Structure formats: structure tokens, C-alpha cells
Amino acid sequence: MRLTEREIDKLQCPPGKRDRLIFDDVQKGLAVRVTATGSKTFLAQYTIAGRKRRVPLGSCSAISLAKAREACEGVMGNRAHGIDTAAERKARAAAERAAAARERLTLAVLVDTWRALHLVQRRARYAKEAVRALRHAFPRQWDQPAESLDRGTVVRALDAMAKTGRVSIAGRTVAYGRACFQWALKRGTVEVNPFSALPALGARPKRERVLSDDELAKIWRAAAAILTPFGPIVRFLILTGQRREEVAGMTWAELSEDRSTWTIAADRAKNGKPHIVPLAEPARALLSSLPEAGDLVIPGDRPPAPFSGWSKAKVRLDAAAGVDDWVLHDLRRTVATGLQRLGVRLEVTEAVLGHISGSRAGIVGIYQRHDWATEKRAALEAWATHVERLADGRAATSNVVALAAG
């Protein structure tokens, strides 16, 4: 049909049909699509590489027939030169949608999505620290598109941390950022990981500090003079060898009725498994001295939140004890070393600490199901006796302590 404005006005879709195409005899490839609802649209139709393509040109009420013929002529000209206009338009629209999605995907949204979908598999403390570290490191970029966080911005932020002595924090921030963006990269929501292949920030020295008997005794005595919550926390760290967050987060519900056993819940244990800690008599006595006020055994300065003022409290402890150049985690290493000095088997020491590496790794960990409960209790009772002797100025009568057989 030779299309005219008048003929187009008279076009209708046949009853029972969704639409109808009427092609123009003047301009090859030009057609009017009439739908059952009465809408009429110009389009250009062509075949390329054996596939039929259609390019919408506009509503018949919006553009004239002459403009439609001109537009179709351009499409058909492109076709003659091997250019697929429909495919190019589709790719351009997809790119625009992707760009819009990236604009909506701010760093805050990316990190929150990573936390909700991926970090749910990790310990709650890890997830909280990861989000906090990234937000603190990149406050100006937090509400900007995630892909605007480039390598230069990342390096400058990390350098600023390192220059103020926070190399360890910078290193953890790199690890969190790399993991977050790598996860997003695999999902196709970002195209570049700005944290990959970053220059080294300076290796964090591996700590091997083990407190001497004299230093341990001084810290034990000084902790007694420091009020709750920090003093009792330090003493529990010394008596049990557990991690500071585990001790600070201890609840009355985690203790057995007779206060002889402490079970650290799986969601608080580093290895993600419940960890049973026998409590020696001095640890039970310490529990008896604490009031049962709230869920936490040792509430922080602002209940019900756990203790958080570690740095300031540690400075006061160092001054009172006269011991410096040590960190709280050194107590855990000191307990492990002390148990070995007392003749405790390596497997029992690792069981006390809640380790699943070393002697309990690999095939041994699969088939070795003994829980060492009796041996752990004997080991911690022996250790508590050793600590009290040191604190009282009495040397241990022997380096080897007889332990109950398992």
C-alpha cells in the first residue's frame, strides 16, 4: 500500500488479532503497526544475517509520514553498510540501564548488600568490623557510586592510615575491601576491584611475646586493684586463655548451674563451633564476687553493652603492673606456653584454646572425636594453681604437674 496520512488514519487491526503490519510501497522497509487497542506506530523492518529486525520510529501521531520515510531510509542505508541499527539501539539502551544501575549502587548499598547476602555466613563480629572499617576509611565516597571508588582514592586513604601508625587497621581495610569488591565482581555488579594488587603497606610483625613468670604475676596482682569491668576481664583471660571478646561477652546463660563450666556459643567462637571451657576454682571464685546484674557476667561501662575501652584501660594496667610492650592477646600465648611447661599434652592445650589447627587438623580432626574434657579441666586447674603461686611469690615445686588420665 502506498501510505498516506489519510490511509493511515483509516487503518484498523482485524478483529481477534493483536496487531497488524502495513508496509509502504514508497519506502522499502517502512511499516505502520496497528494494535488491537488502536495505537499506530511507524517502524523500519529489515533482515540482516538471516534475522529479521525491527526499529521503532515513533508514534504516527507524533511524527509525520515524511519524517518516518526519512528515518527509515537512514536505517535501510545502515543495513546496506552492514550496520544493525536495532542491535546498536538495544546495546545502547542496555548500557544506559547499566550506567543507571551503577549510579544507584553506592558504596553504602554495595557494602550493605555484601553484608546481608554474603557476610551472613561469617561471624557477626567480623561482619560488623568489616562494615565499620570501610565506612570509616571512605566517608566521602560512602554515598557515591561504588565504581567511583578508584585505586588512587583507596591508596590515599590507606596511606593516611599508615602515616598515623594505623598500619594494621589499613591492612584489614584492604582485606575487607578486596573481599567485598571481588564478591561484587563475580556477581557482575562492578567491573573493577580497586583493592586488587595493591602495594604492600608494610608487613605486620608476627607477635611471639610470651610473658615471663614475673611479668605475669605483676599483671595478675595489678588487675586485682583495677575495678570492674577491666580487672576481672584480665584475670579471666589469664585463668582461661580465651580471647578478650569472648570473655567480655560472657553471659550468665553460658555458665553451667554450678559455675564449673563455661560454654562459648558457636556464634561467638572464632571457629564457629561451641567451645567448652572448664573453670578452675579461682575462676569460680571470681564469678562469685561479681553481682548478677543483667545478661553479661562482666558488664561494660555502659550496660547492656560489653566493655569497649580497651586502650585506656590497658594503659592504666601497664602503669600499675610496671609491664609494657605487650598486648592482651599475649596472655593467650602465655597460657598456651605455660601449659606446655606444666607438661600438658599439645592436643589438650589446643582443646583448651579452642584451636582446630595443628594437631587437630586434617584427617586427625575428622576421626579424632575425643573432647578432652577431663584433661582440659585438670590442665586449667594446674595452671590456676601455678598462677596463684607466682602471684604469692612462691615458685612452682615442679615444672611438670600430674594430670588425670583421659
Q: Residue 70: count other Cβ atoms within 10 Å of its Cβ.
A: 14
Q: Confidence band (pLDDT; 50, 70, 90) for 363?
A: very low
pLDDT for residue 397 = 47
Distance from C-alpha of 138 to C-alpha of 158, rounded to nearest angstrom? 10
Q: Confidence band (pLDDT; 50, 70, 90) for 125?
A: confident
pTM for the full predicted model? 0.55
Q: Is 399 exposed, middle or buried (0-12, 13-18, 19+ CB in 10 A)?
A: exposed
Helix axes 310-321, 213-225, angle to 10 degrees: 110
Whether the pLDDT of residue 362 is over 90: the answer is: no
| Chain-centroid distance, C-alpha 95 | 30
- Peptide linkage before 304 cis (omega within 30 of 0): yes
Distance from C-alpha of 231 to C-alpha of 237, rounded to nearest angstrom? 10
**If you average pLDDT over residues 179-207, what whole number do you get?**
82
Instruction: Rank 328-337, 350-359, 386-395 by mean pLDDT and report only the highest.
Output: 328-337
**If you average pLDDT over residues 32-41, what whole number do you get?**
94
Distance from C-alpha of 156 to C-alpha of 203, rounded to nearest angstrom? 18
pLDDT for residue 400 = 46
Q: What is the pLDDT of residues 315-339, one digit of tens each?
A: 999 999 999 889 999 999 999 999 9
Residue 221: all three cell numbers together: 596482682
Q: Residue 135: count other Cβ atoms within 10 Å of its Cβ.
A: 14
Share of the chain above pLDDT 90, in %: 64
Distance from C-alpha of 379 to C-alpha of 402, rounded to nearest angstrom? 9
pLDDT for residue 365 = 46
- Please name the amino acid found at residue 66: A
The owner of cell 487491526 is: 13
pLDDT for residue 200 = 66
Alpha helices in 118-197 (DSSP H): 124-137, 151-163, 167-187
Q: Is 49 left (phi over 0), alpha (psi -120 to 50) or beta?
A: left
Q: Confidence band (pLDDT; 50, 70, 90) for 212?
A: very high
**If you average pLDDT over residues 68-97, what whole number do you get?**
87
pLDDT for residue 293 = 83
CA dihedral defined by 173, 178, 179, 185, rounded to 10 degrees? 150
Computed over every residue of the chain, the mean pLDDT equals: 87
Whether the pLDDT of residue 295 is over 60: the answer is: yes
Contact 70, 36 (CB under 8 A): no
Contacts of 360 (CB under 8 A, 6+ apart): 347, 350, 351, 368
Whether the pLDDT of residue 368 is over 60: the answer is: no
How far apart, in Å, are the Cα atoms of 325 and each of 25, 218, 319?
92, 14, 12
| Chain-centroid distance, C-alpha 209 | 29
Q: Confidence band (pLDDT; 50, 70, 90) for 206?
A: low
Whether the pLDDT of residue 401 is over 70: the answer is: no
Helix axes 329-341, 373-391, angle to 10 degrees: 100
Residue 391: all three cell numbers together: 602471684
SS3 38: coil
| Domains identified in the chain and CATH numbers | 5-90 (3.30.160.390), 107-187 (1.10.150), 213-391 (1.10.443.10)
User: Which position has the higher pLDDT, 134 or 165?
Assistant: 134
Q: Confidence band (pLDDT; 50, 70, 90) for 197?
A: confident
Whether the pLDDT of residue 112 is over 60: the answer is: yes
Contact 264, 254 (CB under 8 A): yes
Distance from C-alpha of 174 to C-alpha of 182, rounded to nearest angstrom? 12
